[in-house]
């Protein structure tokens, strides 16, 4: 390879490395923000729904209590699942460092699944809370 071609190839590799580094950092940031938003939304929703109880005068009907209970269970499940996903993510990284790629990939899959289920519970909690508010007022 000629020197000019070699320098061109090195420049291409450096550009690819910079792009890969940028993509990796962006991916890490997105993952952190996703987890943070799930925690904020679930925790905030749980707090909001608890605050609603103070504003309600009189007895709550059984159907309304059911929706409220499902709201709390869903918000709590979302929070617990996102916390567990942090543990599985750390385990995946540890295994990747040790060179155990196959086991690391399994923990990656578990982490992704936990994140998606956590998101589903967040959506369910919002739906249950809307139903509770609709039935109550």
Model pLDDT, residue 57 = 61
Model pLDDT, residue 6 = 66
pLDDT tens per residue, range 41-59 = 999 998 988 887 777 766 6
Q: Is the pTM of this model over 0.75?
A: yes
Are 136 and 71 within 8 A, CB to CB? no
Model pLDDT, residue 63 = 75
Tally of structural domains, the chain: 1
Instruction: Count Cβ atoms below 10 Å from residue 39 Cβ, excluding itself.
Output: 17
Tokens of 125: 């909690």
Angle at which helix 3-55 crosses helix 62-97, to 10 degrees, equals 160
Q: What is the CA radius of gyration of the chain?
A: 23
Instruction: Count Cβ atoms below 10 Å from residue 68 Cβ, excluding itself.
Output: 23
Q: Between these two residues, 62 and 104, which has the higher pLDDT value?
A: 104
Please give the mean pLDDT across all residues of the chain.
Answer: 86
Model pLDDT, residue 49 = 86
Range of the domain at 88: 3-136
């Amino acid at each position: 390879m000629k020197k000019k071609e070699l320098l061109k190839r090195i420049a291409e590799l450096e550009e690819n490395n910079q792009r890969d580094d940028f993509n990796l950092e962006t991916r890490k940031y997105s993952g952190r923000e996703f987890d943070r938003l799930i925690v904020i939304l679930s925790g905030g929703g749980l707090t909001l729904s608890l605050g609603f109880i103070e504003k309600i005068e009189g007895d709550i009907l059984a159907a309304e209590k059911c929706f409220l209970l499902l709201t709390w269970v869903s918000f709590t499940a979302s929070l617990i699942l996102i916390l567990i996903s942090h543990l599985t993510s750390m385990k995946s990284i540890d295994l990747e460092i040790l060179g155990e790629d196959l086991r690391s990939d399994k923990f990656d899959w578990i982490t992704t699944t936990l994140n998606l289920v956590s998101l589903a519970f967040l959506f369910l909690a919002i739906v249950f809370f809307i139903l509770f508010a609709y039935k109550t007022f």
